[in-house]
Amino acid sequence: MSGIEFTQIPGFDALTVQTIVSEVGLDPAKFPTEKRFVSWLGLCPNNRITGGEVKSTKTRKTVNRAANAFRMGAQTLANSNAALGGFYRRIRSRLGSPKAITATAHKLARIFYRMWTTGQAYLDLGKDYYENRYKERMLRNITKRARELGYEAALQPIEQRVA
């Protein structure tokens, strides 16, 4: 109906896409930005700040079938070999399953919106690509932190070290 193959997104099947499209419609002009789309779904933090103090960052309570469909799609990525599966597992190890599901649903909603507005196909680079980027980012942060403390870090993999 929309001319876009949303089932290419990991975690989405025909029923999930049908639920989302039936809730949001076929016209993306209703949502000027992807931030507004995700906010309408209730998948973004609802920062309650008073007097400079953060009181709450929980997501808003919504009765939205599209948001539930995104959450169910995110939950199916727990054992997936896709890059989004790696993202879900990394967040789950730090924050727990409920927050990881919401964070992954947020990411799925942003991907859905970009595909919906641009008409481009989804390209999954795989779990290895995501894990390698994460590892590079961690190594870069470690060397930067060492430099800030006045040290020079020479990092090398354990397999290549000579005892």
Q: What pLDDT, on the 0 to 100 scale, is given for residue 160? A: 56
Q: Do 109 and 40 share a structural domain?
A: yes
Q: Provide the whole-model pTM.
A: 0.76
Would 162 be classed as within a structural domain? no
Mean pLDDT, residues 94-116 taken together: 92
Q: Do 84 and 43 share a structural domain?
A: yes
Residue span of the structural domain in which 42 resides: 6-123
Would 160 be classed as within a structural domain? no
> CA-CA distance, 88 to 91, in Å (whole number)?
5
For 44-100, what is each residue's pLDDT tens digit?
877 777 888 877 777 777 778 999 999 999 999 988 888 888 889 989 999 999 999
Q: Do 48 and 99 share a structural domain?
A: yes
Q: Do 77 and 12 share a structural domain?
A: yes
> CA-CA distance, 2 to 13, in Å (whole number)?
15
Q: Do 133 and 87 share a structural domain?
A: no
> CA-CA distance, 132 to 159, in Å (whole number)?
17
